[in-house]
Structure 1
Amino acid sequence: MTAPRTMTRAPVRAASVTHVASSLLTVQTGGAGFLDITGEAAKFIAEAKAQDGALTLFVRHTSASLTIQENADPTVLIDLATVLNRLAPENAGWAHDTEGPDDMPAHVKAMLTATSLQIPVLQGRLALGTWQGIYLIEHRRRPHRREIVLQFLGTTR
């Protein structure tokens, strides 16, 4: 027998989309790893005077990606990197190796994660959970200059 479940939902807030704001975030990576870009996304939302709507983030590369993950315990990111490296190791005999042995695994890792994210914006704030952060994942060993398009659609204050 299962315990009864309780569900509640806030009242519906409806608004017409009246505002589109866009920006390009350029990030210089230091090589493979996770870079927390939550603060930059929040700054963009504040500068756009966003109220209610959605933030879309899109990384303009095929060997880097985006994710929403835990931002409290850094060992989560270490374990995630370990999993990605096991799923797409450098020594798997890839045919595509023109840019080095880490290039094809980087493409696979980007395919397994995401190149875009959409996050609700409610009352001027990103509707992320308490322990959620937005990360750019650099899949290449050497540093790269990465571009992320930020776009808000919604109402402003």
Structure 2
Amino acid sequence: MIASRTIRFSRLGTTAGHRPGAIRPNRHGGPRLPGMHSEEVEIRTGGREVVRDLNTECEKFLRGAGGDEGLLHLWVPHATAGIAVIETGAGSDEDLLTALRELLPVDDRWRHRHGSYGHGRDHVLPAFVAPFVSVPVLGGRMALGTWQSVCLVDTNTDNPTRRVRMSFLRG
């Protein structure tokens, strides 16, 4: 048998010393407002296949958003890129690109044929590396494992820049 319980949350919640519905300060001393904060950043990939660590950009965004507790969501509004949570720096990023080259070869098998040779594979990439990821934020930090990084995965060499939408939903 699976036990369940219902937890009710008020819009802003309550904290000791604060009345229900009151706006309470975040850990940076600023107001902790309900809702969502969203920004778009431009990432330069240099027109090459890349697994690009976004942790620094995510942390900067969370500081600006007053992100204390909640959910960080990243979205790539492109048909040929994705977002992954993966280890970087120990070769896993290059291993991912190698695996994608084997799984999605750069050749003329693709029906989608505009752009550079083999570009059709780039349009299949988001089926394997989704264009979004959500990460819990606890105490103002992404709740990632020791070696995990949020990364832009881009195999499309036709586009040297990408946009990444970061949204923080306060908890």
Structure-1-length-normalised TM-score: 0.83
User: Partner of 1:83 in structure 2?
Assistant: 99
- The alpha-carbon deviation at position 15 of structure 1 amounts to 6.9
RMSD across aligned positions (CA): 1.8
Of 111, 122, 125, the residue aligned with 1:109 is 125
User: Partner of 1:9 in structure 2?
Assistant: none
User: Partner of 2:27 in structure 1?
Assistant: none
CA separation in 2, counterparts of 1:133 and 1:16? 31
Of 73, 83, 86, the residue aligned with 1:69 is 86
| Residue 95 (structure 2) pairs with residue 52 (structure 1) | no
Q: Deviations over 1:114-146 (max 9, x none)?
A: 100000001111111110001111111244221
Q: Deviations over 1:89-120 (max 9, x none)?
A: 01251121111223211111222111000000
CA separation in 2, counterparts of 1:66 and 1:27? 13
Unaligned runs of 5+ in 1: 1-11
Structure 1 stretch displaced more, 129-138 or 98-107: 98-107
- The alpha-carbon deviation at position 46 of structure 1 amounts to 0.9
Moved over 6 A (4+): none
Structure number with higher strand proportion: 1
Structure-2-length-normalised TM-score: 0.77
CA separation in 2, counterparts of 1:153 and 1:146? 23
Which has more radius of gyration? 2
Q: Which amino acid aligns with 1:55?
A: L
Q: Is the CA contact (8 Å cut-off) linking 1:21 and 1:48 kept in structure 2? A: yes
Q: Secondary structure at the match of 1:85?
A: helix
Of 140, 151, 166, the residue aligned with 1:135 is 151
Q: How many residues align?
A: 142
User: Partner of 1:119 in structure 2?
Assistant: 135
CA separation in 2, counterparts of 1:92 and 1:83? 18
Q: Which has the higher contact order (CA 8 A, sep 6+)?
A: 1
- The alpha-carbon deviation at position 77 of structure 1 amounts to 1.2
Unaligned runs of 5+ in 2: 1-6, 13-33
Q: Is the CA contact (8 Å cut-off) linking 1:70 and 1:131 kept in structure 2? A: yes
> Residue 120 and residue 16 in structure 1: after superposition, are their counterparts in 2 closer, same or farther (change >3 A)?
farther
Identity %: 29
Q: Is the CA contact (8 Å cut-off) linking 1:65 and 1:113 kept in structure 2? A: yes
Q: Secondary structure at the match of 1:97?
A: coil
